[in-house]
Amino acid sequence: MRIKAVIDRIVDGEHAVLLVGEMEEELLLPVTQLPENANEGTWVKIDLDGDVIHSIQVDQDDTITREERIKSKMERLRQRSKRNNK
């Protein structure tokens, strides 16, 4: 089964915590199994068979789309804060 996940955080420099699927179930994975250039906030596609990961690939398009959406929301919040503090 192919499913999307986001790398939520890196713990102790050795393990990555991924939030998997719509239910955002946590999956602990050694950072050595992450694709090159994957880090916190990176979206990935995982091929799972039960609890066994067969492959993991960076989803560059989804990562960029979500980063842009977050930046846009942060900018709107900053603008709103500036208006409220005048």
CATH code of the domain in which 69 resides: 2.40.50
Number of domains within the chain: 1
Model confidence pLDDT, tens digit, residues 21-59: 888 889 999 999 999 989 999 999 999 888 788 999 999
Range of the domain at 47: 2-84
Work out the burial of residue 12: count CB atoms within 10 Å of its CB; fewer than 13 is exposed, 13-18 middle, 19 or more buried: exposed
Instruction: Give residue 1's pLDDT.
Output: 87
Entry pTM:
0.80
Greater confidence (83 vs 16) lies with 16
